[in-house]
Amino acid sequence: MNSTDVQQFYARHMQLLDGGEAEAWAGTFTPDATFAAPSMTEPVRGRDGIAAGARAAADGRTAAGEVHRHWVAMTTALNTADGIETVSCVQILAVPRGGAPRVHLSCVMRDRLVRQGGQLLVAERRITRDDRPGG
């Protein structure tokens, strides 16, 4: 494991998400990745569903006239037989056009990363929201 690799991965990963590049972002997950978040009634599996979610979120931001920035930090990374298990804090900054930024959400992101074809990819993601502890 190389922590620098992990950080570079998350930086590019979130630049794609916040830039509205939904398909490229979905490409940083494995083809059969699972993604579980409080906003979902059940986990999404696979790149098509992941891209659809990102596209819907990007459209919502555009409609609202907002830019979002996902900040990922405080990442611990543990090598396991199944990949790299990471735990990170995420803060989402929301910036309205012509207005002041606000911290929109604070979350914890638990990922299992794997290396395929020389690249890190998310195989499994679980998001919890700090405003919904235990939820």
The residues binding a second copy (CB under 8 A) are 3-4, 7-8, 10-12, 14-15, 67, 69-77, 87, 89, 91, 93, 95-106, 130-133
In whole angstroms, the minimum distance from the beta carbon of 128 to a second copy comes to 10
Q: Which residue lies nearer to a second copy by CB, 14 or 44?
A: 14
Q: Is 111 exposed, middle or buried (0-12, 13-18, 19+ CB in 10 A)?
A: buried
Q: What are the CB-based long-range contacts (under 8 Å, 24+) for 93-97?
A: 93/68, 93/69, 94/66, 94/67, 94/68, 95/66, 95/67, 95/68, 95/69, 96/64, 96/65, 96/66, 97/65, 97/66, 97/67
Q: Which residue lies nearer to a second copy by CB, 44 or 83?
A: 83
Q: Which residue lies nearer to a second copy by CB, 60 or 101?
A: 101
In whole angstroms, the minimum distance from the beta carbon of 118 to a second copy comes to 16
In whole angstroms, the minimum distance from the beta carbon of 5 to a second copy comes to 9
Q: Which residue lies nearer to a second copy by CB, 52 or 67?
A: 67
| List of E strands, 24-132 | 29-36, 44-45, 66-80, 83-96, 102-116, 119-129
In whole angstroms, the minimum distance from the beta carbon of 25 to a second copy comes to 14
Q: Which residue lies nearer to a second copy by CB, 12 or 55?
A: 12
How far apart, in whole angstroms, are the C-alpha atoms of residue 74 and residue 93?
16
In whole angstroms, the minimum distance from the beta carbon of 32 to a second copy comes to 26
